[in-house]
A and B are shown apart, each in its own frame.
Chain A
Amino acid sequence: MSTITERTPATTVTGTPGPRAKKSRFRGYNWFGGSLSWLWLFVVMLPIYWIVITSFKTQDTYFVTNPLAPPTDLTFENYKAVIEADFVRYFFNSVVITVGAVVPAVVVSFMAGYAIVRGAANRTIKAMNWIFLTGLAIPLQAVIIPVYLIIIKLKLYDTLLAIILPSIAFAIPLSVIVLSNFIRDVPKELFESMRMDGASEWGTMWRLAFPLARPALVTVTIYSALNIWNGFLLPLVLTQSPDQRAIPLALANFQGQFGINVPAIAASVTLTTVPIVILYAIGRRQLLSGLTAGFGK
C-alpha cells in the first residue's frame, strides 16, 4: 500500500506519466468516506437492479410480490411484447442514425484535427480552430428552431437523415479538439521522416497519424456514439412518423402504450440499454479517459 502507480481509467489520453497518488496517510480506514461511497453505490444500483428484475416478472406477480425480490419464475413475455411493438425497427433506425452520423463525424474531425496540428502557423486554420473551441459552447437546445427550419427547407423532415445531419455537426467540435490534442503529441521527427520518404500530407495523415491516433479515435467514436444513440431532442423535433422513430423516442412511446404494465416498460428500458452496456464493456478505458481528459490538473 505504499505508492499507487497503477493506471486507473481516469488518466489522461495523452498518457502523461501516471500521477502518483498519495501514500495512505493513516493506518485507519476512512469510515466516513467509505460508508458514503457504499451508500451511494447502493443508491446508484437500486433503480438499475429494480428495472432489470422487474422486466422478468409477469404483470400479475409484479403487483403481489416484494418489488425488490428477484422473480420466482422468469418470464420473457415482456421482452416479447416489446419486440412485437416494433422494437426491431426502432433499434435499426437508431443503428442507422448512430453509424451514419458517427463515421463521417469522426473522419472529418480527424482530418480537421490533423490540419490544425500540421497547419498551426496558418491563419485560416487558427481561425477554424477558434470556431471549433467556441462551438463547444453552443447548446443544441438553443439552436433547435433554426435547425428545424433548415431541415424543412432541405425537405428532409421526418427522415433519418434529418437527425443524422445535425448530429454530425454537434459531434464535431469536441472530436476535433480531442483528436488534435492527441495528434499534437506525435513526435515531429515522424512527420519529418515521412516527408523525407516523399509522402504527401494526405498519405502522412492516413498512414502515420491515423494508426497512431487510434486510442483517441476510439474515445471520440464511443463518446459521440453514446450521445447520438441517447439523443432525444432531435428525433422529437425532426421526426413524426413511427417509421422514423429512434430508440429514446420509442421508449417514451412505449411508456404511453404499456401504461400500467410496469414489467413491459422495464423490459423496454432494459432492452434499449443493452447495446450501450456492450459498447461500454468493450471501450470502457478509452471512454473514461476521454471523458475525464484534461480535468485532472
Chain B
Amino acid sequence: MTTIAPPVVRTKGSSSSSGGRSGSGSVTWMALPAFVWFVLFGIIPLFGVLFLSFTTWNGIGDIEVTGLTSWKAALQDPGLPHALWVTFVIMALSWLVQTPMSILLGTFLATSKRYRELLAVLYFIPLLLSSAAIAITFKALLDPNFGLGAGLGIDALNQDWLGNSTLAIATLIFIVSWQFIPFHTLIYQGAVRQIPTSMYEASQIDGASRMRQFFSITLPQLKYTIITSSTLMVVGSLLFFDLIYLLTGGGPGDSTRTLALEMYQKGFQANLMGPASAIAVILVLVGLVLSLLFRRLGGRADESQLEGV
C-alpha cells in the first residue's frame, strides 16, 4: 500500500487545486433527493394553498379560478374572527400557565441532582403519546357519567368539563399543559444548568436569599431560553388540531373552534376548499408574524428556527 500511495496523493492533490469547486459540485446532487422531495410536498403546497385561495373547488370536481370570491366568503364569515379570538385565547392562556410552571420546575430539576434523572424520565412520557391517545384518555377520564369524578363520587370533580363553554377552554388549557409542560421544563432545566456557578456564589456571599437569586440571576439569565420556549409554545398552539378535534370537535357550539379547526371543517366537511385555503393562508401569516416578532425580541435567528419542533 505504501508504495502505491504517493502517486495517488499527487494526482489527487493536483486535481484538487483546480477542482476545489468541482469537489463541492460533486456533492450537490447528494442534497438533491431531500431537496426535491421537500419542494414537492412542502414548498409547492405552500404556494398551492395561496393559489387555491383564489379558486372555487369542492374537493372533488374541477378547480375554477374565481378571483377574490373565496377570500370574500372567508372574510365575511363571522366564524373567522371568532376562530381567531379562540385561537388567541388558547394561545395566551396556555402560555400563561405553561411558562411559569416550566421555569419553576426546570429550575428545581436543575438544582436537584438526586431526583433529576427519575423525574426527567417520567416527565417525558406525555410527549411520547399521540394527541389522539391523550384526547381519548382525557375524554374518558373527564366523562361526567363514567369518568373519574363520577367514580370517586366527588362532586367538585364531577363537572361537565367539555360540555360547558368556559370549562371546555379551561380543560383544554389544562390538557395542553399536561402534554407540553414536561418538554419546556426540560428546556429550562438545561438552560439553568448553563448559568455560571460563580454568579450564585457571589450573590450568596452578599447574603442574597433564594428568592432574590431567582429573580436577579436565574430569570435574567434565562431570557433567551424564555424567548425560544415561548416561540415554540405560541407558534405550536396555532397548530393544535388533533387534540381539539377529538376532544371537543370545536364545541360546545363553536367555543373551542380554533383557526386550524375552522379550516378543516370548512375544507373537508363543508367542501369549501377555496375559503378553507384562505384561512390556511391566514394561519401561515399569523405564524410567520408571531415567529418574526419573537425573533425580533431575541435577535438570535439560529434559535427561532426551531419552531417546527
Contacts and interface: CB of A to CB of B under 8 A. Distances in A.
Contact of A269 (B137, B183, B235): B137
Contacts of B229: 295
A198 interface: yes
Nearest to B48: A146
A136 B302 CA distance: 12
Interface in A196-217: 196-198, 201-202, 205
Interface centre among B20, B201, B280 (most CB of A within 10 A): B280
A119 interface: yes
Contact of B30 (A25, A111, A232, A276): A111
Majority DSSP secondary structure for residues of A touching B: helix
B228 interface: yes
Contacts of B52: 145-146, 149
A36 B309 CA distance: 27
B91 interface: no
Interface residues of A, number: 121
A51 B49 CA distance: 40
B128 A276 contact: yes
A99 interface: no
B123 A41 contact: yes
Contact of B307 (A9, A109, A136, A141): A136
A79 interface: no
B31 A111 contact: yes
A262 B288 CA distance: 41
Contact of B305 (A6, A37, A133, A262): A133
B296 interface: no
Interface in A149-178: 149-150, 165-166, 168-170, 172-174, 176-177
B220 interface: no
B47 to A, nearest CB: 8
Interface centre among A3, A230, A276, A277 (most CB of B within 10 A): A230
B85 interface: no
A25 B204 contact: yes
Contacts of A196: 5, 8-9, 12
Contact of A172 (B38, B133, B224): B38
B133 A284 contact: no
A50 B143 CA distance: 13
A144 B267 CA distance: 10
B237 to A, nearest CB: 11
Contacts of A288: 120, 124, 186
Contacts, number: 368
A44 B182 contact: yes
25 contacts: A11-B190, A19-B193, A22-B111, A36-B105, A37-B108, A40-B101, A67-B152, A68-B152, A111-B33, A112-B31, A122-B25, A133-B305, A135-B43, A137-B307, A146-B44, A146-B52, A196-B8, A230-B131, A230-B133, A232-B132, A233-B242, A237-B268, A248-B133, A295-B187, A297-B194
Identify the 3 closest CB pairs spanning chains A and B, nearest first: A33-B108, A146-B48, A169-B41
Interface of A: 1, 3-4, 6, 8-11, 19-26, 30, 32-34, 36-37, 40-41, 43-45, 47-48, 50-51, 54, 63, 65-68, 108-109, 111-112, 114-116, 118-122, 124-125, 128, 131-133, 135-150, 165-166, 168-170, 172-174, 176-177, 195-198, 201-202, 205, 226, 229-233, 237, 247-249, 251-252, 254-255, 260, 262, 265-266, 268-269, 272-273, 276-277, 280, 284, 288, 291-292, 294-297
Given A21-B111, A122-B25, A139-B284, 16 more contacts: A22-B197, A30-B112, A33-B111, A37-B105, A37-B112, A44-B182, A111-B34, A136-B308, A138-B46, A141-B260, A142-B263, A170-B41, A176-B34, A252-B132, A280-B128, A297-B191
